[in-house]
Amino acid sequence: MSDTRCRRCLLRELAEGAALYESVKAYRQELSEDTRTPDGEFEARLDLCRACRYLQNATCMQCGCYVEIRAAKKDIHCPMEKW
């Protein structure tokens, strides 16, 4: 039997991550504008994560975070220095 799970997916793309993704959206909305990454930059960060070989099932295998949570705050950066 083959493993068909998505390796380079974000929480919002994983069926089992749907509830957690809703929490991420709420968390991001509660961040102040000074703290929250602007929408366009947030999406650009996630695009870079999706292309990264260290993304596995919405988790950065370099730091162990869910990338959508890490990308939400503008003062937190990628451990691989991609953003």
Contact 65, 9 (CB under 8 A): no
Structural domain includes residue 42: yes
Alpha helices in the chain (DSSP H): 18-30, 39-50, 67-72
Q: b/e map of 33-47 (b: 16 or more CB within 10 Å)?
A: eeebbeeeebeebbe
For every residue of 19-41, DSSP letters joined together read HHHHHHHHHHHHS-TTTBPPHHH
Beta bridge partners of 55: 60
Q: What is the pTM of this model?
A: 0.86
Q: How many structural domains compose the chain?
A: 1
Domain around 53:
11-72
Residue 80 lies in a domain: no
**Residue 81 in domain:** no
pLDDT tens for the chain, 83 residues long, are 445 556 778 998 888 878 888 999 999 999 999 999 999 999 999 999 999 999 999 999 999 999 999 999 999 999 999 99
